Amino acid sequence: MGTSTARVLAGAVVCAVVAVTLTACDDSEPRLDSLGLSQTPADLAQLEGGPWVADDISDPDVSLVPGSSVELRFEADSLSANAGCNTLFGRASIDGDELVAPTLASTRKACDDDLMQQDAWLSSFLGSRPTMEVLDQDLWLSQGDDTVVHLVQQQ
């Protein structure tokens, strides 16, 4: 191998290492979708079973009320959700990679203001057509770059 060929190969290796390093340092993608490993469920029936419980919510304007949790349950054409007070429920579907739940009804329990605001946030979030991604037993719902809800299915 000549000197110029060795330099070209060395340059290519350096460029590849830099590209991989920059990609690995990019934390704007919290999930593995950039690697093509996540998928959108074809329909809600694929998410049936035990409840999906949020173990992380990233939103600059929201933090969970201490002692509460967010739980979602899916059926073939509907969902129910609870954020610590009232239960939201209604028709739902998947359109492309988005969860579509335009109008959710709610039970009407009176709760602390913090829990009522958390219910309102969850209703608004679910009605905003969040993007859905599934990898193994993990479900991510996201809206824009600011809000990501990570859920794990309980058995």
* Same domain (yes/no): 22, 84: no
Q: What is the pLDDT of residues 76-86, one digit of tens each?
A: 999 999 998 99
Please give the tally of structural domains in the chain.
2
Domain that holds residue 84: 44-153
Q: For position 42, what pLDDT does the model report?
A: 78
Tally the C-alpha atoms within 13 A of residue 102's C-alpha that lie toward its C-beta: 1
Mean pLDDT of 76-101: 94
What local confidence, expressed as pLDDT, does residue 2 receive? 55
- C-alpha to C-alpha distance for 10 and 6, rounded to whole angstroms: 6
Q: Average pLDDT in the 29-52 region?
A: 70
Q: Residues 123-136: pLDDT tens digits?
A: 999 999 999 999 87
pTM of the full structure: 0.73
Residue 69 sits in the same domain as residue 101? yes
Rounded Cα gap, residues 56 and 140, in angstroms: 10
Our measurement of the distance from residue 16's CA atom to the centroid of its chain's CA atoms, rounded to an integer in Å, reads: 30
